[in-house]
Amino acid sequence: MEGKFWICLGLTALIISMCNCRKGPTTVSIQKESFGQTTSGKQIDLYTLTNANGLKVRIINYGATLVSLEVPDRNGKLADVTLGYDSLEGYIKDASYLGTTVGRYANRIARGKFTIKGVDYQLATNNGENHLHGGKKGFNKRIWNAEKVKTVEGPGVKLSYLSKDGEEAYPGNLTCTVTYTLTNDNELKISYEAETDKATPINLSHHSYFNLAGQGNGDILGHKLMLNANKYTPVDEDLIPTGEIKNVKGTPLDFTQAELIGSRIDQVPGGYDNNFVLNSGGDSLALAARVYEPNSGRVMEIYTTEPGMQFYTGNFLEGIKGKSGKVYDKQYGFCLETQHFPDSPNKPNFPSTILNPGEKYTQTTIHKFYTR
């Protein structure tokens, strides 16, 4: 009996060894390579992060931009689930903020105006009469410094930028960092920090367009979405918040239970482009959204420390030439931008976005992936 036991044990070990060899181990890694040069000759670097499960994320230091994110479907097949471009030229010409870090102030500020401590400021108006995503040359068009980061959670890249006093007419020298970490729990963790020497509004966010069926593989209307938000901020015809906070119940903005994105989108003029008031209140890291794509089985959950989230259905995408020869049209991707509320500097009842000297701005958002 003892001999048979050791024979069985040896066969089991051999089978496990053969399976492991056939599958092959995945090496956690951070690779750096050139992504081209700007028109002024500045080199842009591409960082590829691979976690222990084979997930990959590619990031460039132009705009602190996420270029691609490969995650498996229920059969283990990897696909890139974010919209983007194959070359630097695409990002230089991009007007849709594909995968970028947006700031100094994500979303809109009415008429580009605000007042801090009795001083009036006038920003650029690059969205009709309003200021959007940091102005004519926001953080998405800036070259960031980058360095590799190795953590117990997984590989990462830390990007830093100094936004000088008066840049896009914002007050204060603002030093900020954005750190992307691809954890071995299949999470893309984005951490933000900033400090200033003069009071300034700040509202940083990430602007990836997701399609969990794979980038360029049709529209996103068949995705099922749950938002952990009972309320939203109504807007006027220019998409500027009125200052009210209303309940989503009884409206096509009610995603408190999972609904198909396309089930009521025709009831929203132009498609979804709305700020939701998260139930967590931004007091701690909490679940904000869950998205499920039935054909692939991919699920993405978003956790954030922010009080709000902008849900946008790519309403202005039209004939954009993306990666691998794919063309992006209307509603081929959705954004879930964790943020403070739009036009907060002009809405005293909204959570404040003013950062003062001696304070530190911090924000964490996590995109978690799995299948079912």
What is the set of active-site residues? 207, 337
Side chain identity at residue 254, one-letter code:
D
**Residue appearing with tokens 């964790």:** 338
Closest CA to 153 of 64, 67, 28, 284: 28
- CB 29, CB 58: distance < 8 Å: no
- CB 262, CB 305: distance < 8 Å: no
Longest dimension (CA), the chain: 89
Q: What residues pair up with 298 in beta bridges, in sequence order?
A: 371
Report how far residue 370's alpha carbon sits from residue 367's, in angstroms, rounded to the nearest whole number. Answer: 10
Closest CA to 150 of 63, 57, 51: 51
- CB 309, CB 279: distance < 8 Å: no
